[in-house]
Amino acid sequence: MEYTQLGRTGLKVSRLVLGTMNFGPQTEEAESHVIMDAALDAGLNFFDTANVYGWGENKGRTESIIGNWFAKGGDRRDKVVIATKVFGGMNAEGKPWPNEDRLSALNIRRAVEASLKRLQTDHIDLYQFHHIDRRTPFEEIWQAIDVLVQQGKILYAGSSNFPGYKIAQANEMAARRGTLGLVSEQCLYNLAERRAEMEVIPAAQEYGLGVIPWSPLHGGLLGGVIKKENEGGRRASGRSAAALADTAVRAQIQSYEDLLAEHGIEPGEAALAWLLAQPGITGPIVGPRTLDQLKSALRAVELELGEELLTSLDEIFPGPGPSPEAFAW
């Protein structure tokens, strides 16, 4: 497994991130433990979760599954860099009482204690703000985080789904307080969705943040969805099905799959390898439901895409271009 630094920290993390959002909702606990063991055996040491994963009445279930895996021993906890998130309300009905969601100092304090209990650990390596909170000033957020760092309950703070200007605001306020600030940003970024290249990734690079892309297969759209349909396999559903109903999108995905077929490369593995080849990227989040899906993702780390193929992929999925040229009318 290839490793890199997490932004401007001293943490060494694998270049793939094990996303655990399917543990509980789609993958039972026993199978989830098998997947985590296989990931660790393969050298994948960076696990990502969130306090709301499990969803609905089962919010927190995913963290509990990870905590039970840690409790098995074998130095599992010591070998893993664990990242979780705070923002969403934990009320099962989705109607939180005041201060039971978002990024108030009170909710951050409550949420981190609850996550530590579910994860069965004494500290969280990377504590991420799941979304921006326009109601809470960064002065209050950083004051709460600084206390948690001093208490040893978290090591670093990161953001998720932040626009570029909020990354700047957050880190400028941290600098005025004399603290480290954000060390990572988790954003939507893949071949089919490249708007992060306009502001988010440049801001992250300017402030020394690692970039952790989520949805690297764009909801399955980049995972060989048309090929699977033609072979009688799992059909596209949800957003992927809606996207493929657009003839232009379907033609684009068909061109993508045809190109990779010519090179004998699986589409999902190519999408991950493309992300790994982009500047500023720490590692994409993969969310396997099965052991086979994990094995496929691991193969992408060894896959090198040649310049000609990278150029062809850019032609099929053109990015916005460098800033500020990308904003030109």
- Give the residue-averaged pLDDT of 42-51: 98
Residues 161 and 196: beta-carbon distance below 8 Å: no
Please tell me which residue in 3, 53, 165, 256 is annotated as part of the active site.
Answer: 53
The model's confidence at residue 240, banded by pLDDT at 50, 70 and 90, is: confident
User: How far apart are the C-alpha atoms of 119 and 219, rounded to whole Å?
Assistant: 27
E strands, 72-149, in order? 81-86, 124-129
Which tens digit of pLDDT belongs to each residue from 114-142? 999 999 999 999 999 999 999 999 999 99
| pTM, rounded to two decimals | 0.95
Instruction: Give 268-307 pLDDT, tens digit per residue.
Output: 999 999 999 999 999 999 999 999 999 999 999 999 999 9
CA angle in degrees (0–180, nearest 5) for 160-163-169 = 95
Distance CA 111, CA 211 (A): 24
Q: How far apart are CA 147 and CA 25, in angstroms?
A: 33
pLDDT digits (tens, 9 = 90+) for 242-278: 888 899 999 999 999 999 999 999 999 999 999 999 9
Rounded-to-integer distance, Cα 29 and Cα 27, Å: 7
207 is catalytic: no
Distance of CA 305 to the CA centre of its chain: 22
Architecture of domain 3-219+268-307 in this structure = Alpha-Beta Barrel (3.20)
Bridge partners for 134 per DSSP: none
